[in-house]
Amino acid sequence: MKFTDQLWTEALPIYEKIKLHPFNQELKNGTLPVEKFKFYIFQDSLYLADFARALATAGTRAGSSHELLDFLQFAQNAILVERALHLSYFKEYDIPYDGKKAPGCFAYTSYLMAVSAFESYEVAVAALLPCFWIYKKIGDYIYESQVSPNPYQNWIDAYAGEDFAHSVEKALAICDTLAETASEKTRKQMTEAYLTASRLEYVFWDSAYKLEKWEV
Ligand SMILES: Cc1ncc(CN)c(N)n1
């Protein structure tokens, strides 16, 4: 069994909760209030900037220039492809460019940047994996069962699309290769990092659905 198959099994209860979260259910049904989608898009634009930083940082610690290039390409895609999608929504919904990270976004981006800088390369890769894999799975799930026409079609198409799938396959292969030669201790840390980032994926959607604000 591949290491990433084990990760998927361990984190399955978290994925199921993400899938059934009202944000994703309403996105699928095209009934998600625009206000919540706008909140999500703004927070996600902040997220993607830091996600790209975390990817580039992890890449500098890769064991080969081939993998360094993969990570730089992932970082470039996060900014040029995913944020371009956001920009179209910024225009369509007239989303203002001002605002701060909500607690959910703050927690997730801080975690990814800290792990990519201070944990081992293997653990950093495992922590970054849910950002690829869970989005791919959610994108496919929504694409297959969506109600059409759907106001969020471009978003759905982006994550269910082949280009994104290609990046996900690469990230999975890197993680599996690293796990093959990693010690048992490192594999445990990788699993823990994968689970933490998966939980933070849930937190991020939940934060958008609740239009989360700082309490104080
Ligand atoms: C919070 C979050 N996680 C993952 C992705 C997909 N890169 C995203 N756009 N936003």
Sketch the domain layout of the chain as residue ranges: 3-94+111-209
For residues 74 and 164, what is the distance between their CA atoms, to the nearest angstrom?
Answer: 10
Contacts (Cβ under 8 Å, ≥6 apart) of 183 = none
- Ligand 1 pocket, residues with Cβ under 6 angstroms: 44, 47-48, 82, 131, 135, 201, 204
Buried b (16+ CB within 10 A) or exposed e, 152-164: beebbebbbeeeb
Contacts for 31 with CB less than 8 Å, ≥ 6 apart: none
Task: Pick from 21, 27, 44 the residue to mutate for probing ligand 1's pocket: most ligand atoms within 8 Å of its CB.
Answer: 44
Domain 3-94+111-209 is in which class? mainly alpha
Closest ligand 1 atom, residue 205 Cα: 1
Q: Percentage of residues in the chain with pLDDT exceeding 70?
A: 100
ipTM > 0.90 for the complex: yes
Residue nearest to atom 10 of ligand 1 (CA): 44
| Alpha helices per DSSP H over 61-120 | 65-77, 83-92, 103-118
Closest ligand 1 atom to 159 CA: 6
Burial label for 22, CB within 10 Å (0-12, 13-18, 19+), is: middle
- C-alpha torsion sign, points 132, 134, 135, 141: positive
Nearest alpha carbon, ligand 1 atom 2? 131
Query: pLDDT (tens digit, 9 = 90+) per residue, 118-162?
Result: 999 999 999 999 999 999 999 999 999 988 899 999 999 999 999
For the segment 172-214, what is each residue's pLDDT rounded down to a tens digit? 999 999 999 999 999 999 999 999 999 999 999 999 999 999 9
pLDDT of residue 194: 98
| DSSP single-letter state for residue 93 | T
Look up the pTM and report it: 0.97
For ligand 1, atom 7, which residue shows the shortest CA distance?
131
CA of 205 to the centre of ligand 1 (A): 10
